[in-house]
Amino acid sequence: MNEAVIDDIRLKISSKLDQRNKSKFGQFMTASVIADYMASLFDKKNKRIKLLDCGAGIGSLSLSAIKVLKKIALVDLWEIDPVMREQLEKNMASIAAPFHIYSEDFVFDAVKNILFGYGERYTHAIINPPYKKISSNSEYRLELKKVGIETVNLYTAFLALSIHLMEKGGQIVAIIPRSFCNGPYYKPFRKLMLDQCSIEHIHLFKSRSKAFKDDNVLQEVIIIKLVKHQAQGDVKISQSTDHEFRDYDSKVVSFTEIIKPTDAELFVHIPIVKDIFENNPLFSVTLTELGLGVSTGPVVLHRMREFLVQTPNDSSVPLIFPHHFVKGEFQYPKEHKKPNAITVTTESVKWLMPNDGFYVIVKRFSAKEEKRRIVAYVINPAEIKTGMIGFENHWNVFHTKKHGFDQDIAMGLACFLNSTLFDNHFRVFSGHTQINATDLKNIRYPSIKILKSLGIAYKTNMDQKNIDQLVTETIL
């Protein structure tokens, strides 16, 4: 069965899927060219290959793997959707390899197999798992905890279970979102993965929208190859703009460039760009060394609803939202569906911060295709005119021990954060649109001297070209 036929089937089946189930199961089908590339990452040393494909869809991944691996002892596939499963049966029957299709939920089957030693242990796994958040009180979370897996999304659950089901030396090739690479919620998964596997290869698609363009997937997606219980060596990093691989390039890097030896958070860096950050004075000191901290805005709207007011009054203080900024300039108050202010009471005051200096704030969420991931603004105490200020929970707030700080340092920090150079640096280890305070704590920054130099020249309404020129000229 050739690629064109498989892709034609994939598109037809995708159009037949119940859209509610597609969302419920997080179904995104793999194009044949991607499946073939993933299969090419396997080495062919094993004489008796036992292949796992969980969330198999119509079998595109397994078909590609079987073409490459050839010596197949068995293929176990899990697919819960009946429309997919019907076509999966036909596709697998067309090839000469022993296979078994399971219609049960892979999470529950895998947990049972791990707990009681049932089923197979595999030499190879090729997976495109479902992408779907799982809540803390869901059946999935409770089931996964039985085998020591703590995670927040089905894709990392499927990958963690696959790791448990591999033989020593077993190879896993998976296409997954990049969001697991950083952030506190995925730390338990990162630890499990790094404890049990070596990372051999990571491929990054530079365009978010093209690798799964037929399914309108906008997550930043990577392909990762893991080998169970193999000593960690150097890692191959490759990239292409999209699934056509026309501009494919690659390099080999030390594992210490992927996981920094001193990083307790175990962030996974993907150094795809020529390393212009090493020994760069713009990335030389920690926030702690600067005397700064960063934390999530403390005002959570649904918890503070009784204190919120649309029109500021004598007993309220400003509550800051992104719509209060236009081209970097603060505009307050502003007519909007969101409140402009928060009433100061003995209960609400603990969630407010003193208006005793400058703050720098960064949006926690950027639009999926926004040109710059990091968008920073300066809070000038002279523009607030009250003793306290409220920062809504969708901000990351830079401060000094919950207080404001020096004007030049604040202006310089905002300039640096808004530069293309910083944005590129941030993308090395963050592939999703949420910006966590933990991410910002783990980055290095310019010295006080450089920040002050930037701050003296920076204007909040500067365009991108002038910001980038200012940052570049500061270190020349």
Q: Which of 221, 241, 257 is the last residue of a domain?
A: 257
pLDDT digits (tens, 9 = 90+) for 403-447: 999 999 999 999 999 999 998 888 766 655 678 898 899 889 999
Does residue 262 fall inside a structural domain?
no
As a whole number, mean pLDDT of residues 198-227 equals 75
List of E strands, 5-132: 49-54, 72-78, 99-102, 122-127
pLDDT digits (tens, 9 = 90+) for 135-167: 989 999 999 999 999 999 999 999 999 999 999
Q: Which of 222, 257, 292 is the last residue of a domain?
A: 257
How many percent of the chain have pLDDT more than 70? 87
| Per-residue pLDDT at 305 exceeds 80 | yes
* DSSP 8-state assignment for residue 86: H
Q: Can you give the residue range of the structural domain that contains 46?
A: 3-257
Residue linked to tokens 């049932």: 118
| Per-residue pLDDT at 184 exceeds 70 | yes
Residue linked to tokens 């119509």: 58
Please, how many CA atoms are within 13 Å of residue 132, restricted to the half-sphere of its CB?
20
* Same-domain pairing of 192 and 322: no
pTM of the model: 0.69
Instruction: List the structure tokens of 331.
Output: 């505009």
Any long-range contacts for 274-277 (C-beta under 8 Å, 24+ apart)? 276/421, 277/425, 277/428
* Cα-based angle 168, 169, 170 (whole degrees, multiple of 5): 90
As a whole number, mean pLDDT of residues 80-109 equals 93
Q: Which of 257, 289, 306 is the last residue of a domain?
A: 257
* Cα-based angle 406, 408, 412 (whole degrees, multiple of 5): 120
Q: Shortest CA distance to 51 belongs to which of 23, 79, 72?
A: 72
* Same-domain pairing of 252 and 374: no
* Same-domain pairing of 181 and 288: no
pLDDT the model gives residue 245? 84
Does residue 62 fall inside a structural domain?
yes
* Domains identified in the chain, total number: 2
| Per-residue pLDDT at 235 exceeds 50 | yes
Write down the mean pLDDT value for the chain.
88
The answer to whether 237 and 272 have CB atoms below 8 angstroms apart is yes
pLDDT band with cut points at 50, 70 and 90 for residue 26: very low
pLDDT the model gives residue 280? 82
> What SS3 state is found at 140?
helix
The answer to whether 43 and 68 have CB atoms below 8 angstroms apart is no
* Same-domain pairing of 288 and 197: no
Cβ atoms < 10 Å from Cβ of 57: 27
The CATH number of the domain holding residue 419 is: 3.90.220.20
Does residue 248 fall inside a structural domain?
yes
* Same-domain pairing of 192 and 291: no
The answer to whether 182 and 429 have CB atoms below 8 angstroms apart is yes
* Same-domain pairing of 285 and 251: no
Radius of gyration of the chain (CA): 25
